[in-house]
A and B are shown apart, each in its own frame.
Chain A
Amino acid sequence: MQRNTYFLIFIVILAIVAIWVDLPTNPGIHIDFAGIKIDRDIKVHEGLDLQGGLQVILQAKESEATPANAETMAAAKGIVENRVNALGVSEPLIQLQGSNRIIVELPGIKDPAQAIQTFGRTGLLEFIDAGSTSLPAGTIVTTTLGGPSSVAAEGATTPLTPTTPLTSTVAPTLAPTSVPTPTLAVTPTLAVTTTTGLTATAAATTTAPVTPTVPPPTIYRTVITGKLLKSAEVGFDETGKPQINFALQKVGNEPQDDGPKIFADYTSQNVGKFLAIVLDKRVISCPSIQSAITNGSGRITGQFTLQEAKNMVIVLKYGALPVPLEVVENRTVGPTLGQDSVRKSLVAGAIGLLIVIAFMLIYYRLPGFLADVALLLYAAVVFALFKLIPVTLTLPGIAGFILSIGMAVDANILIFERMKEELRWGKTLGAAVEAGFARAWTSIRDSNISTMITCAILFWFGMNFGASIIRGFALTLFIGVAVSLFTAITVTRTFLRSLMNTEYAKSRWAFGLPPEKAEEV
């Protein structure tokens, strides 16, 4: 009996702690006293499907020059991590999956498309020798570092993309309308322009069947790559337009490692010519060289917004990915859909809980009532654990939790049915209660272990497949099963033992049995 009292005290303390943790206004633990420093928020971690957000699986685009191995993937993950942190997302999750994938989860992100472009692009910066002709922004080029296919990953996009191919496809459609015009009274100058226009058209139509995005055959020489970049930051030009200020540095003792010197030599030898600034094989801008730049710094101007400039700086700052990545899976959930689902699931959970409580009370009477108290404790403890561990709550996770409410009483039902049987066989109340718990234990143990095995395999499956949704469900169900073993057995037994010698437990009615000796089974 003594031991039972301790259990009872423990359960009461547990209930108080659990309820405190569960409070939506919980302030968290912030202690800074006598050398002990704890600074922790206690709150519900909502999954992507609840609060909205983005989940992306990036896969390495392997080639001979850029192999995907443990080293390059780890480096790529580090760079993606830095870029994501620079975006300022709270609680991002970035992890490697398998041998060539990276999963990125960004809860509550406002502009998912921009985010992907920022953390997912390769970010290979090149200054190329464009010669004496300017390259229009958006042109895809081949450089001495390799063709565009090796780097121009999906993330490497600018709003300008469609314009480059469009201009070349529009030309031929305009041509036929201009053909009938050279009739009679046309001035020689105009005739010249039409003929030149016609030849240009002819050239365009012959090349049209080839996809217009095919880069010009010229291979441009790469003068400097992003490796020699020292810093990059957003600035503004004279008209207030955003630009990117950069500085180069010397990274080694070899001639090709001295950024400022290469830049100075090149610019002094090529005054009046064009230098194209290329990111992921796409031209950003192509300024002409006015004079030699010897201090190793400069600026990138172009048609981009402040936000785009900021994101480009993030990309440049942390260097290029050692291996290009492409988006193979993208899941974006808006916040409204999630909030609606949470509200509905909570209502459903409350209704389910009430029905189970009513059922247990009506069918099992006194033990049923005690099981209901244990069930409420169960719900409080599980939810507290979700907040403390913390478990990220997803919609299927909530479904798993609600399902586990129905399951949590299973152990109670097993025990109470057994108690009834023992009572029918003529055992005294006390003996029947003890036998009920003892005899039901083996089936409770074996059945719950098999459920836990399933949970573990589901969890593994979710891990490997990057589905946090499945992982969440498996974890919530596992915690539910584990806690229910405690509440349904230990807690209910403690309550029953405490009531054993009181008036309430004397009647057979309280245990759901007919008043006198019942039938033999």
Chain B
Amino acid sequence: MLEAIGNFFKDLVSNIVGRRYWWFALSGLIIIPGLAAMIISTVQTGGPLKPAIDFTGGTLWELSNFQNPLDLGAVREILTKNGFGDAALQTSEKAGQQGLMIRAKHIGSEAKAAIDTDLKERFGGYTELRFESVGPAIGAEVAQRAQWAVGLAALGVLLYISWAFRQVPNPFRYGACAIIALLHDVLVVIGLFAIFGLIFGIEVDALFLTALLTGPIGFSVHDTIVVFDRIRENRKRYPNENFERLVNHSILQTLDRSINTTLTVLFTLTALFLFGGVTVRYFVLALLIGITTGAYSSIFNASCLLVVWENGEIGRFFRRLFGRKTQPAVARGG
């Protein structure tokens, strides 16, 4: 029995491509709850993620160090008087200082000056930590531009890979598989943040978008190319080798590198997540998730997908996916 388990793990590690449908299922296991969260969130709030003011427009106003004791009722009164009665107030306590966070719709500079005067009158002096206010039109524009940026980055990478792999048969497939792996990673990150949004109320801002572009699009493709490069080299060296075996061999050859590189990046990011400032914490979290799933997908998805495509298994893939689920993929390596 023990031996069987040992063999199972040995087989698991040495025959990655053979178990490709397991890996696809594992990806599904992470992505499907994320998709569900996105749908729930869309039904509840009208969007898959909880957008920050960068995309919706609105105000984030952080104050601290009030001279007179903070009184939320009075703050609300002042805000209501100036037409921002629906603002959300949140207090915090840091180093014995009372802090106040005001979230409201877009506060123009005239309204801000008026509120400032009223607050100063009521509470004496205070320190303004930050004031961010974005008009609704700008927010909508950013969201639209963001989609363009993601689309363009994906297209640029697809074209580059197709060109860089022009000497192997079907270079377009390499590019397409890298992009599918990339979309997988984007889905994982967005899905997890949709879940975080529902449970913890974490919002996504323009920095999240940067993390999305860097993690999945930058690194996932980076990792995928390293594996593909080895496939390209091995293909030249052993032109008659079975493609599935060749890909599996290439993955194993680059496995140490994939793990080590991911580790060094995760070391630095984890340090940043634990010890860095609060303002970039979710940005770093998105990067952490994106880079981890990027490393995973380059090994377990992109290359395996290439085999699926080269073997003409796409039709069979869907039959397996939707058909007989009781008999998952059996290693078929030749």
Contacts and interface: CB of A to CB of B under 8 A. Distances in A.
Contacts, number: 239
Contacts of A327: 108-109, 133, 135
B37 interface: no
B245 to A, nearest CB: 14
Interface centre among A327, A405, A450 (most CB of B within 10 A): A450
Given A413-B260, A453-B160, A454-B157, A330 B268 contact: no
A442 B235 CA distance: 15
* Interface size classification for chain B: 35 or more
Contacts of B331: none
Interface in B260-296: 260-261, 263-272, 274-280, 283-284, 287
B145 A464 contact: yes
Interface string A454-466: 1101101100110
Given A448-B222, A451-B219, A454-B217, A333 B129 contact: yes
Contact of A443 (B109, B127, B219, B226): B226
Contacts of A414: 226, 257, 261
A347 interface: yes
Contact of B267 (A157, A341, A352, A457): A352
Contact of B229 (A113, A116, A417, A442): A442
A292 B254 CA distance: 91
Contacts of B209: 470
A329 B135 CA distance: 6
Interface centre among B110, B274, B287 (most CB of A within 10 A): B110
Interface residues of A, number: 80
Mostly helix, strand, loop or mixed at chain B's interface? helix
Interface string B182-221: 0000000000000000000000001101100110011101
Contacts of B161: 446, 450
B230 interface: yes
A115 B142 CA distance: 26
A467 interface: yes
A153 to B, nearest CB: 9
B226 A399 contact: no
Given A113-B112, A403-B214, 13 more contacts: A159-B117, A326-B108, A341-B280, A352-B270, A352-B271, A399-B272, A402-B272, A410-B265, A414-B226, A417-B257, A447-B222, A451-B219, A470-B207
Interface of B: 62, 108-110, 112-114, 116-117, 127-135, 137-138, 141-142, 145-146, 148-149, 152-153, 156-157, 160-161, 164, 206-207, 209-210, 213-214, 217-219, 221-223, 225-226, 229-230, 232-233, 253-254, 256-257, 260-261, 263-272, 274-280, 283-284, 287
